């Protein structure tokens, strides 16, 4: 692992510290009038998403972690596992549902994703901002259901349940925000 000083920190950089793998969310170099300079950082644990504030001395050495981002295509489910194919090498990779977290609610066959790898461990997944999914089950839409803001539950093809407007019926395709899990529009 390459060693860098805290003076070289940048937002989004990954660090391997004693207590885990972290991403720099924000940093601030502080030079008080009295005493030595220091770097105040906000770090996000890559594995569990928890945020922590940490202060380093200026010039302190830390280990930089190399996170490899691979473009992959989701092929199919094999039991509990999700099977992905690397878009460049065509190698297949079985991924457990615990490694994907909430991202598994938005994966359908042949969808694209970017897997973040630290060595052989999957530490995160980047999805597009919005995905199009079919509605598997909901109450049918009725002509004239245009009440502003009224919503009903709908189960998507992945099993995720979201709130949709009254006029959306079963079998329709909708666009869903992957960051919030909310209905955006009909596709």
- Which pTM was predicted? 0.74
Q: Write the CATH number of the domain with boundaries 130-186.
A: 2.40.50.140
Q: What is the pLDDT of residues 35-72, one digit of tens each?
A: 889 999 999 988 878 899 999 998 889 999 888 888 99
Tens digit of each residue's pLDDT, the chain (187 residues): 688 888 888 898 899 988 889 999 999 998 888 888 999 999 998 887 889 999 999 888 999 988 888 899 999 988 888 899 998 898 898 888 888 888 888 888 888 889 988 888 888 888 888 889 988 888 876 666 566 677 888 999 888 899 888 888 888 899 999 888 888 888 8
3-state secondary structure the chain: CCEEEHHHCCCCCEEEECCEEEEEEEEEEECCCCCCCEEEEEEEECCCCCEEEEEEECCCEEEECCCEEEEEEEEEEECCEEEEEECCCCCEEEECHHHHHHHHHHCCCCCEEEEEEECCEEEEEECCCEEEEEEEECCCCCCCCCCCCCEEEEEECCCCEEEEECCCCCCCEEEEECCCCCEEEEC
Instruction: Please name the fold of domain 68-126.
Output: OB fold (Dihydrolipoamide Acetyltransferase, E2P) (2.40.50)
Domain-by-domain residue ranges, the chain? 3-64, 68-126, 130-186
- What is the CATH class of 3-64? mainly beta
């Amino acid at each position: 692992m390459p060693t860098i000083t805290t003076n070289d920190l940048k937002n989004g950089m990954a660090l391997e510290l004693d207590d885990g793998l972290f991403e720099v969310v924000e940093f601030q170099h502080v030079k008080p009038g009295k005493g030595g300079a220091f770097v105040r950082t906000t770090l996000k644990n890559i594995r569990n998403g928890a945020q922590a504030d940490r202060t380093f001395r200026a010039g302190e050495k830390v280990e930089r972690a190399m996170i490899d981002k691979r473009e992959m295509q989701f092929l199919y489910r094999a039991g509990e596992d999700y099977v992905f194919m690397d878009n460049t090498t065509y190698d297949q990779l079985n991924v457990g549902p615990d490694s994907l977290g909430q991202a598994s609610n938005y994966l359908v066959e042949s969808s694209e994703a970017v897997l973040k790898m630290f060595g052989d461990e999957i530490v995160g997944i980047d999805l597009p901002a919005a995905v199009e999914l079919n509605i598997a089950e909901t109450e049918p839409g009725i002509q004239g259901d245009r009440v502003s803001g009224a919503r009903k539950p709908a189960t998507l093809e992945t099993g995720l349940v979201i709130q949709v407007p009254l006029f959306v019926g079963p079998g329709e395709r909708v666009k869903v925000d992957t960051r919030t899990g909310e209905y955006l529009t009909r596709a």
